[in-house]
């Protein structure tokens, strides 16, 4: 009993001492929420659909951040918090407030706040945004008919990027419809090929209604503008004679026609599971997969498709592996093209005269076909698809369900 009493006494003394220490710590950690002085020297300038603000923060010890309040393009109250850490050595801070759709003046209220929001009220200023980029870019767009789609021509003369969206449908059948969107970089002009399709089918050889809209990063859009075009017809190239040089159904190893294939770890190892030929079997549920089970390979990955004869290639279509986490798939690829005449020695592809068609992005989250226009529709027998390190997903292997080629009729 004496030992138990002694233990309780010691424990009580310890807890009392700890409580005393905590009290002292509480006294030392005091939060200064006294209202700091206000911001000073507020300056404004206009940008495309945005307002640039600069100001000087107060020297008050309690100052922690600047809160900027304003009404957005929808008339809804918004705010931004700018930490004091954003200030330069002279105590100057800046912010760009984006997402405005008109040049009407906007009122901004800048509060100098302590850690819990204590402040002396706002310093108010008013500024007019510049004309938004997305409306100007949308107005610049022209559309030309092309093989299997359209060329969307644009000119972005602004210092910020904008997005171009098009909604399209067959003029005679509204069920044949779709949408597309792409970014027009700041200070750029160009043409973007857009495949007009519904499901896996092209809308070609028939008049299409296209609505053009501009969009900014805040989700604001311009009023749609309608144009009508008739895309040129294309046809899917027959795959009966297609092969991959050096193909071996039972080997994972690199050949002259591909970097690797997985013959053991996919679909129980039953052909064509995991093999390159799965990309030309017409079955979306089979797929090529770079080796991972017996000898895990890493990027880059690649394969060469031999179509057996020269074909006037309008576009190349890739379809990702179905029903798999898209994050593990590749996010882009590079195309190299070669005609039969430029492949002097069929067993040494490295000596062929390859036409580098550049790099293209691949949306690993889409299970629908993704098509890539080959400008000029060159005569091609061999197509090399190369997956460089820069396009690696979260996994070390590339994979595809199908590859198709289209030619102009």
Residue pLDDT, tens place only, 120-156: 999 999 999 999 999 999 999 999 999 999 999 999 9
pLDDT of 224 reads 97
Mean local confidence (pLDDT), 9-34: 54
Mean local confidence (pLDDT), 280-293: 95
For the question of whether the overall pTM of this predicted structure is more than 0.85, the answer is: no
Residue 392 — pLDDT band, cuts 50, 70, 90? very high
Question: CATH assignment of 267-408?
Answer: 2.60.120.260
Name the segment(s) of the chain with CATH classification 2.60.120.260. Answer: 267-408
Dist CA 227 CA 149 (whole Å)? 14
For domain 133-232, say whether CATH 3.40.50.150 is its number. Answer: no
pLDDT surpasses 60 at 10 = no
List, for residues 327-375, the tens digit of each pLDDT value.
889 999 999 999 999 999 989 999 999 999 999 999 999 999 999 999 9
Name the segment(s) of the chain with CATH classification 2.60.40.10. Answer: 40-127, 133-232
Token pair for 265: 């770890």
Dist CA 393 CA 396 (whole Å)? 7
Dist CA 372 CA 380 (whole Å)? 15
pLDDT surpasses 60 at 61 = yes
pLDDT surpasses 60 at 12 = no
Mean local confidence (pLDDT), 220-236: 96
pLDDT of 279 reads 98
List, for residues 232-260, the tens digit of each pLDDT value.
999 999 999 999 999 999 999 999 999 99
CATH assignment of 40-127, given 1.20.58.220, 3.30.450.20, 2.60.40.10, 3.40.50.1110? 2.60.40.10
- Do 336 and 354 touch, CB atoms closer than 8 A? yes
26 compared with 298, residue with greater pLDDT: 298
pLDDT of 268 reads 84
Tokens 């590079």 belong to residue: 334
Mean pLDDT of the chain: 92
Tokens 């900027």 belong to residue: 68
- Do 147 and 315 touch, CB atoms closer than 8 A? yes
Is the peptide bond preceding residue 272 cis, with omega within 30 degrees of 0? yes
Rg (CA), the chain: 31
Mean local confidence (pLDDT), 189-199: 94
């Amino acid at each position: 009993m004496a030992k138990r009493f002694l233990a309780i006494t010691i424990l009580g003394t310890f807890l009392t001492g700890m409580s005393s220490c905590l009290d002292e710590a509480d006294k030392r950690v005091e939060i200064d929420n006294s209202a700091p002085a206000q911001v000073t020297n507020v300056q404004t300038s206009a940008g495309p659909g945005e307002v640039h603000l600069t100001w000087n923060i107060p020297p008050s010890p309690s100052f922690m951040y600047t809160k900027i309040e304003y009404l957005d393009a929808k008339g809804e109250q918004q705010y931004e918090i700018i930490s004091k850490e954003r200030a330069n050595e002279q105590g100057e801070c800046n912010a760009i407030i984006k997402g405005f759709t008109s040049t009407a003046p906007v009122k901004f209220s800048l509060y100098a706040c302590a850690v819990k929001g204590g402040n002396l009220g706002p310093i108010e200023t008013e500024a007019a945004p510049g004309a938004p980029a997305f409306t100007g870019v949308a107005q610049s767009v022209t559309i030309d008919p092309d093989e299997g789609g359209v060329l969307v021509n644009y000119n972005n003369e602004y210092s910020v990027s904008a997005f171009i969206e098009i909604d399209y449908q067959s003029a005679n059948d509204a069920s044949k419809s779709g949408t597309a969107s792409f970014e027009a970089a700041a200070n750029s002009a160009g043409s973007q090929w857009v495949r007009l399709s519904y499901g896996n089918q092209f809308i070609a050889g028939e008049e299409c209604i296209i609505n053009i809209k501009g969009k900014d990063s805040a989700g604001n859009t311009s009023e749609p503008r309608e144009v009508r075009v008739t895309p040129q017809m294309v046809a899917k190239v027959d795959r009966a004679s297609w092969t991959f040089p050096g193909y071996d159904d039972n080997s994972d190893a690199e050949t002259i026609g591909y970097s690797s294939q997985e013959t053991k770890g996919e679909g129980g190892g039953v052909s064509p599971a995991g093999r390159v030929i799965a990309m030309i079997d017409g079955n979306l549920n089979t797929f090529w997969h770079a080796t991972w089970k017996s000898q895990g390979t890493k990027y880059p990955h690649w394969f060469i498709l031999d179509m057996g004869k020269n074909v006037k290639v309008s576009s190349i279509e890739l379809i990702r592996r179905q029903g798999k986490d898209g994050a593990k798939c590749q996010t882009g690829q590079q195309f190299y093209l070669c005609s039969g005449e430029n492949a002097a020695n069929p067993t040494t592809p490295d000596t062929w005269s390859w036409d580098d068609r550049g790099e293209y992005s691949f949306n690993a989250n889409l299970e629908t076909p993704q098509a890539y226009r080959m400008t000029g529709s060159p005569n091609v027998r061999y197509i090399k698809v190369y997956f460089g390190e820069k396009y690696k997903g979260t996994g070390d292997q590339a994979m595809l369900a199908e590859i198709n080629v289209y030619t102009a009729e």
